[in-house]
């Protein structure tokens, strides 16, 4: 994938990594993420490839201790650097082999969806006083996102807004989470995908130095 978003905001990084905004802040506040992967100047921003390591940290919580995951992140950076390198990144430490390919794939898919959501929306002062709407319509993105979050079916939403397409309804919550509307409650954090393991234990379950 061509890296189309080299720096991500906190909310964008949360979407890409598949975690909550609170978990993103934790990666910095607890000094889990190496400093060269993010910036705190003016606002917190993240390198795109940082999301692979953030996803790894939380998705492997049931397989590895915090100490092991911290060490794995730092060791991985000595083997893999740059977005494309993470696609096939594999390294071994003690009795454990860590594969990043599936994690990278998940982050890549979420980044593409985020990019599509941003591309689909405009803010024009001449349209609803600058309220974010889907391009070619006067449909407020946040209204559609609220309907999706409330459990309204896609069919009902399309009946309400005939100018929309299915894919726009799907992307509305993505945009709303990436660009939270001012003065409204934050979106609920996403639920991590359970049951996945990207670690092969070859000898004993002692993990990476943990």
Q: Which residue has the tokens 């980044």?
A: 111
| Residue 186 pLDDT greater than 50, yes or no | no
Largest CA distance in the chain: 65
Cβ atoms 164, 134 nearer than 8 A = yes
Q: Which residue has the tokens 């397409």?
A: 165
Asked whether the CA dihedral 24, 29, 33, 38 is positive or negative, the reply is: positive
Q: Is 196 left (phi over 0), alpha (psi -120 to 50) or beta?
A: beta
Its pTM stands at 0.81
* pLDDT at site 38: 96
Cβ atoms 148, 177 nearer than 8 A = no
Q: In this predicted model, what pLDDT tens digit does every residue of 22-34 receive, in sequence order? A: 999 999 999 999 9
* pLDDT at site 96: 76
* pLDDT at site 208: 43
Beta strand ranges found along 80-202 (DSSP E): 90-93, 96-99, 121-122, 133-134, 199-201
The helix, strand and coil proportions of the chain, stated in percent and rounded to the nearest 5, come to: 45, 10, 40
> What value does the mean pLDDT take over residues 8-29?
96
* pLDDT at site 80: 86
* pLDDT at site 6: 75
DSSP 140: B
Domains and CATH numbers, the chain: 7-111+196-201 (no CATH), 121-178 (1.10.10.10)
Please give the Cα distance from 144 to 119 (Å, whole number): 16
Q: In this predicted model, what pLDDT tens digit does every residue of 135-145 receive, in sequence order? A: 999 999 999 99
> Mean pLDDT lowest for which of 91-100, 130-139, 191-200?
191-200
Q: What is the band of 187 on the pLDDT scale with cuts at 50, 70, 90?
A: very low
Q: What is the band of 66 on the pLDDT scale with cuts at 50, 70, 90?
A: very high
Q: What is the band of 99 on the pLDDT scale with cuts at 50, 70, 90?
A: confident
What mean pLDDT is reported for the chain?
85
Q: What is the band of 4 on the pLDDT scale with cuts at 50, 70, 90?
A: low
> What value does the mean pLDDT take over residues 183-190?
47
């Amino acid at each position: 994938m061509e890296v189309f978003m080299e720096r991500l905001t906190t909310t964008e990084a949360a979407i890409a990594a598949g975690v909550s905004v609170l978990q993103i802040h934790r990666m910095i506040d607890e000094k889990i993420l190496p400093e060269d992967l993010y910036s705190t100047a003016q606002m917190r921003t993240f390198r795109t490839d940082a999301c692979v390591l953030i996803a790894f940290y939380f998705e492997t919580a049931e397989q590895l201790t915090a100490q092991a995951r911290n060490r794995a992140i730092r060791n991985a950076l000595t083997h893999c650097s740059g977005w494309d390198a993470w696609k096939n990144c594999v390294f071994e430490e003690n009795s454990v082999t860590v594969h990043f390919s599936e994690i990278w794939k998940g982050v890549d898919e979420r980044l593409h969806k985020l990019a599509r959501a941003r591309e689909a929306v405009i803010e024009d002062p001449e349209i609803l006083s600058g309220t974010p709407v889907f391009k070619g319509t006067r449909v407020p993105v946040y209204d559609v996102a609220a309907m999706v979050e409330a459990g309204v079916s896609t069919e009902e939403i399309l009946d309400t807004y005939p100018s929309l397409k299915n894919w726009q309804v799907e992307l509305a919550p993505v945009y709303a989470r990436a660009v939270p509307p001012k003065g409204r409650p934050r979106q609920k954090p996403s639920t991590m995908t359970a049951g996945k393991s990207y670690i092969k234990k070859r000898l004993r379950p002692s993990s990476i130095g943990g």
